[in-house]
Structure formats: C-alpha cells, structure tokens
Amino acid sequence: MEESPSVKSKDLNVAEEFEKSGMKRMANFVVIGHVDHGKSTLMGRLLFDLNVIDQRSIDKLRKEAETIGKSSFALAWVMDQTSEERNRGVTVDIATNHFETEKTRFTILDAPGHKDFIPNMIAGASQADFAVLVIDASINSFESGLRGQTKEHALLVRSLGVQRLIVAVNKMDTISWSQSRFEEISQAMSTFLTTANFSSKGITFVPCAGLTGENVVRKVQTSDASWYTGPSLIEALDASEPGKRHIEKPLRLTISDVFKGGVIAPISISGRIEAGSVQVGDAILAMPANETATVKMIEVENKPVDWAIAGQIPTLHLTDIDPIHLRSGDIVCTPKDPVKLINTFTCKILAFEHVLPSSVDVFRGRLHTEGKISALLARLDKATGEIVKKKPRVVKPGEVSRVTVVLEKELPLEVGTRVVLREGGNTVAAGLLEG
C-alpha cells in the first residue's frame, strides 16, 4: 500500500473547543415499532413539514410510488432509500436524516420494524439517546403489534440503555381522534413499559397522524381532538434531554458504515462516537483487527470539521490501513487506551424469556459471535442489585441475574458495555458487562 503524506494534527483541546463553539445540543433518536405502523411515513412527514425536504422531492417520490400503485408510500420513501425497501414496502437498514429546532440538532435513526431485521435494529438503537415508538391506533393493529414487534423493540431499546421513550400513537385520523382509544392504548403500554424497566417519568404519549401531519409539527386543529392539550410530536422531541456526553473519556466509536474507493481517502468509516473525541491527524486503533490508521479528514453531516465529539456521528476518512481490517460493528479507539479483546465475561442480564445455560448469539451493536451462557451465578433483586438466590437453575422472564458468558471468538468488550443475547431468532436477554 502506498504511503500517504502525513496529516498534521492541530493538537486541539477538543473539550475546550466544544465549549467555545456554542454548538447546539445534539440528540440522536431511533424510530421503532411493528412493521406497517407508519414509522417511515411519520418521519417523512416530520421532515417535510420542517422544510428539510421540499415539495418537489415529495412530488417526485409520489410519482414513483404511483407507478407501483403505492401512492401513500411517498412520505415513507424519504426515509427508505433503497429499491429493495421500496419494492417490499419495509425498512431494511438504518436510514439517517437530520433536522433542527431552535434548541436541538437531531439525527433520526430509522430502524427496521420487520422481524428479520432485528440485528440492524440493535445497531440503530445502540446509537440512540432516546426512542420514538410508533403505534398504529387503528382497531386490531395495536393489538397485533403488541403481540408482534412492539414489545420486543421496546425491550431491546431499554436493554441497550435507552431510558426515554416517546410513544407516537399514530393514524389517529382513522379512528376520528377517539380519546377512549388513545387512553386505552396509553394505559396498556404504560403497564407493559413499566414492567420492562422504563420509569413512568421517562414516557410521553403523543397522538398524531403521519399521513395528514396532524400533531406532528403543527398542533391538531380538528374538533374531534379538542380533548388533547399535550405537546405535538416535535415539542415532545424538543423536551427530551439528550444523554450526558462523555467527552473526557478515551475515544470509543462503533463503526456503522464502511465506504471504499472515495475521492478523499481510500477508506472511510462512519459511526457514533460513544465516548471521547477525535481530531484530524489522530492515530486510531481498529478492534478486533488491532490495526492502526490515521484520520486524514473528518466530516459531520457532509461538512469538513477539525474534530468530532461523543454523541456525534461523523465520517472519518482514513489512510495507512488496509480496508480488510475495517468492518461494520468494529470499535475504533485510541491506541493509548484500547478496548480489550475478551472471550469470557460476567454480565448482569434482564431476561425476556426463560434463560438456562445454553448456546446464544451475542450482539454488541452490529458485532456478534456465537457463545454460550455457561453459568447462572445468582438471581438479583431488580431494585437493589442484591443477591436473592445463588446458582438458580433457571432465570424467568422479567428477572435480573448475573451470568457467565463464554464466546467462540474474542470481541472488543469492556465493563459497562451492553450486550443482547438471542437464541433461535428471539431476544432472550440483554445485559450489562461487569467484568
């Protein structure tokens, strides 16, 4: 591989630069929910009503949608970029879009609702500060969603550290803005979400209609909805506090995309910075390959910048590394303080199904490997974390326990990392690494 001319670092104190920059607060949220409940349409409407996309683009999408007899999909297609998604009418990968309010710069991570795409959904949720759970209010749709992906998605985002949830009760126009239906859904979901470890303070219910745009950006005007005095969806988003930014910690970035053969550099990566910061000229270490690279250029939302910090999702253009060493899901860290590769760990799990010592697929964002739960060490009190019972024979759904997991191949993991355990296509538990 050719040596590239070295890139000079400005040796900036990024934490100070960030303080001086007066940058708007940033928040990333993931949109989740059962397939066909209107997630992509709702986000397309939000972007359209905020003038992030113009009427011409929508008209063009509407024309394309009409040619395959799906004119109502035009708004969804703002989010669904690939022809596979458009033909199937479902979201496969994670689309990202940006918009801002007076207070906040938002990134939408539109995660797929379809059961086949749960690993992509895990990757999206692991980049999020909070989640918008979209529920179809129409008769039977909410109920079938609750039996379907609605529950699994809510459990997944909670297990990945998301504590704040906005529940968008969508398609209210199809039920004439029925107050009793909205309250019935809110009550059923509140009961479920609090048992899934969400605090009731962290949940907001917002009735809306993605197709018509009522109560998304503009308040609902129809007399049928005169009973509702709460926030619109955009107001609820703006009221959400983003998570704390761990700028002082060592760099940790999870790669979500790898681009090859660019004009600026032979290889580029993008992903969310979970901790620390990175600047042009930095040496970085890619794990698990254990290979270093140099940051030639950084872009945030397609604009060149000198640095990026925790909470942002930058693109890093790299030199001095063979593309073979970089994959989606890998961890980028600072060579001075790398993430260790381990193949055995103890973690505290919340069980969604019965958990026994058994083989499982272990996910850390998009990275995953086969492994097994080798020992159930103790059942813990949910509130205090104290040991209730040592060496239980089984962990029941809803219980918290400490287990040992052995992996078939080493993964870059450290204390505080969140993992998801799946078995036979179902999420059985999620946990927090203890050591």
User: What's the first-to-final CA gap in the chain, in angstroms?
Assistant: 38
The per-residue pLDDT for range 41-71, each reduced to its tens digit, is: 788 788 888 877 756 666 666 666 566 555 4
**What is the C-alpha to C-alpha distance for residues 37 and 32, in angstroms, rounded to an integer?**
9
Contact of 419 with 413, CB cutoff 8 Å? yes
Q: What are phi and psi of 380, to 5 degrees?
A: -115, 155
pLDDT level of residue 93 (50, 70, 90 thresholds): very low
Q: How many CB atoms lie within 10 A of CB 301?
A: 13
Contact of 29 with 128, CB cutoff 8 Å? yes
| Per-residue pLDDT at 2 | 42
| Per-residue pLDDT at 321 | 93
Share of the chain above pLDDT 70, in %: 82
pLDDT level of residue 304 (50, 70, 90 thresholds): very high
Which residues contact residue 100 at a Cβ distance below 8 angstroms, ignoring those fewer than 6 apart? 24, 106
Q: Would you say residue 90 has pLDDT above 70?
A: no
Long-range contact list for 146-150, CB < 8 A, 24+ apart?
146/188, 146/192, 148/34, 148/35, 148/115, 149/33, 149/34, 149/35, 149/113, 149/114, 149/115, 150/33, 150/34, 150/37
Q: Which helix (H) or strand (E) holds 130?
A: strand 130-136
- The better pLDDT of the pair 230, 159 is held by 230
| Per-residue pLDDT at 361 | 93
Tell me how far the alpha carbon of residue 134 is from its chain's centroid: 14
CA distance readout (Å), 203 to 45, 134, 158, 165? 22, 13, 12, 5
Q: Would you say residue 75 has pLDDT above 60?
A: no
| Per-residue pLDDT at 4 | 45
| Per-residue pLDDT at 62 | 61
- The better pLDDT of the pair 166, 30 is held by 166
| Per-residue pLDDT at 80 | 45
Classified as helix, coil or strand, 138 is: coil
| Per-residue pLDDT at 353 | 87
Average pLDDT over residues 124-140: 83
| Per-residue pLDDT at 61 | 60
Asked if residue 335 has a cis previous peptide bond (ω within 30° of 0), the answer is no
Q: Would you say residue 358 has pLDDT above 60?
A: yes
pLDDT level of residue 72 (50, 70, 90 thresholds): low
Exposure pattern of 38-74 as b/e (b: 16+ CB <10 Å)? bbbbbbbbbbbbeebbeeeebeebbeebeeeebeebb
| Per-residue pLDDT at 3 | 43
**What is the C-alpha to C-alpha distance for residues 259 and 174, in angstroms, rounded to an integer?**
43
Tell me how far the alpha carbon of residue 308 is from its chain's centroid: 19
pLDDT level of residue 123 (50, 70, 90 thresholds): low
Beta strands 104-110; 25-32: pairing state: parallel
| Per-residue pLDDT at 65 | 56
| Per-residue pLDDT at 96 | 54
Q: Which of 70-84, 145-159, 186-200, 402-416 is predicted least confidently?
A: 70-84
- 385: nearest Cα among 371, 373, 399: 399
Which amino acid appears at position 256 of this protein? S
Q: Would you say residue 85 has pLDDT above 60?
A: no
Average pLDDT over residues 403-422: 91
Q: How many CB atoms lie within 10 A of CB 158?
A: 20
**What is the C-alpha to C-alpha distance for residues 171 and 166, in angstroms, rounded to an integer?**
16
Q: Would you say residue 343 has pLDDT above 90?
A: yes
| Per-residue pLDDT at 300 | 87
Domains of the chain, with CATH numbers?
25-238 (3.40.50.300), 245-333 (2.40.30.10), 341-433 (2.40.30.10)
Average pLDDT over residues 281-300: 94
Q: Dump the DSSP string for 358-427.
A: -EEEEEETTEEEEEEEEEEEEEE-TTT--EEEES-S-B-TT-EEEEEEEEEEEEE--TT-EEEEEETTEE
**What is the C-alpha to C-alpha distance for residues 203 and 191, in angstroms, rounded to an integer?**
11
CA distance readout (Å), 252 to 19, 274, 327, 337? 20, 5, 15, 10
| Per-residue pLDDT at 236 | 95
The per-residue pLDDT for range 239-286, each reduced to its tens digit, is: 987 767 788 899 999 888 888 877 788 899 988 898 999 999 999 999
